[in-house]
Amino acid sequence: MAVMRVNPTRMELSRLKKRLTVAVRGHKLLKDKRDEMMRRFIDLIRRNKDLREQVEEELTQALGDFVLARAVMSNQMLEQAIMVPTRRVELSLSKRNVMSVDVPVIGFDVKSETSSAYPYGFAATSAELDNAIITLGNVLPRLLELAEVEKAAQMLSDEIEKTRRRVNALEYVMIPQLQETIRYISMKLDENDRSSRTRLMKVKDMLAQREA
């Protein structure tokens, strides 16, 4: 590890020791942060997996019901039945802080034009279309939660990678470099002290010889 270019003085040694103390403390805090983010990231991945399986299952069921409805209804009748919706969804977006990462929170509010969830009468439609409409209405909350969880997992993953690079930079570059520089300055100061003592002893011997 290369030694930093500094003057080998006691003041510089004291300054580097303080920097080393801060770097070691920061390294520990970043490692703890990385580990906690990893734990939360794994929880998000598991939640994402469960939600995706539920959403895909319900969407597959709704699609199957639509296919059956189209088989027993004419295209014109089907289009007329679902042409005018009776519900309107308003989305709201906010944020919450997870380990210094602002992840999105998606809220929604369903506005109903009528008391019925179906935008058609039952005389000319099939039960399969009813099932598809109900399934799609029920899957909306989980679909929005899935989008929220996936985005949070992506943002947390990016922050974990940044924190990992900082931890590695401190652990393998900055801290060893500070330790090596401190060791170098300490050796230089010890060497200077020994040289000074040697010179003082020689001067003392010369003075003693003159007095003798």
Phi, psi at 93, each rounded to 5°: -125, 125
Greater model confidence, 19 or 118: 19
Check whether 118 has a pLDDT greater than 80.
no
Check whether 90 has a pLDDT greater than 90.
no
CB 78 within 8 A of CB 129: yes
DSSP label at 85? Answer: -
| pTM score | 0.76
Over residues 129-140, mean pLDDT: 83
- What is the C-alpha to C-alpha distance for residues 52 and 195, in angstroms, rounded to an integer? 74
Q: What angle do CA 30, 32, 36 make, to 5 degrees?
A: 115
* Residues β-bridged to residue 98: 101
Return the pLDDT at 112: 73
- Residues near 201 by Cβ (< 8 Å), separated by ≥ 6? none
- What is the C-alpha to C-alpha distance for residues 84 and 195, in angstroms, rounded to an integer? 96
Over residues 21-38, mean pLDDT: 95
| pLDDT tens profile 144-202 | 999 999 999 999 999 999 999 999 999 999 999 999 999 999 998 888 878 878 888 88
* Domains recognised in the chain with CATH numbers: 29-155 (1.10.287.3240)
- What is the C-alpha to C-alpha distance for residues 90 and 147, in angstroms, rounded to an integer? 16
